Amino acid sequence: MSAIVIRELDAAEAERRVAELGVILRDAVEGGASVNFLAGFTQAEAEAYWRGQIPGIADGSRHLLVADDGEKLVGTVVLTLAPQPNQPHRADVGKMLVLSTLRRQGLGSKLLDAVEALARAKGRTLLMLDTTAGSSGDLLYRCRGWVQYGIVPGHALSTAGVPTATSFYYKEI
């Protein structure tokens, strides 16, 4: 395997690689990540999700960064620019995903570094995200300087359909 490179996909490449993006999302859901979907999530549903993101990528309101090992995509993170006129300084970070076979090797930190750099380049100084309380993401964000500003019990269902607490974070960059 070649060195893993973090880079941005444009809308055309995202469309061409939607199956690979779907594999990453399904892997996360199958591993129990609460990223808006429940157990039984199919490849077709995962691809439909990513196709739904392409218009935002095309119009520049959303940016998709990927980890690419030269053969396939192995991670994702999405930067969504706040559209509100009074929030030109803010963006949301989502779908921070790494294939389960490559976790705990620093790839999540590299994706976060890249999305923070992209946000700065877009003039954004405040980032926000949420994750399942107590998850590996929860620990990663805390270790990477994100500030937890609250936990909401029962905020979202786990992949098994059980109400689960969500941690909310922000980071000034």
Q: Is the CATH code 3.40.50.1980 the one for domain 5-124?
A: no
pLDDT of 34 reads 83
Mean pLDDT per segment of 10 residues, for the chain of length 173 residues?
88 98 97 91 97 98 97 97 97 97 93 98 98 94 97 95 96 98
Instruction: Give the residue among 82, 115, 83, 117 at the shortest CA–CA distance from 96.
Output: 115
What is the side-by-side order of every strand in the sheet holding 147-157? Answer: 5-9, 62-68, 73-81, 90-98, 126-132, 163-172, 147-157
pLDDT of 132 reads 95
Two structure tokens written together for 163: 């109400």
Residue 8, φ and ψ in degrees, nearest 5: -95, 140
For the chain, the domains span 5-124
Assign 159 to helix, strand or coil: coil
Residues 6 or more apart in contact with residue 26 via CB below 8 angstroms:
41, 42, 43, 46
pLDDT of 133 reads 96
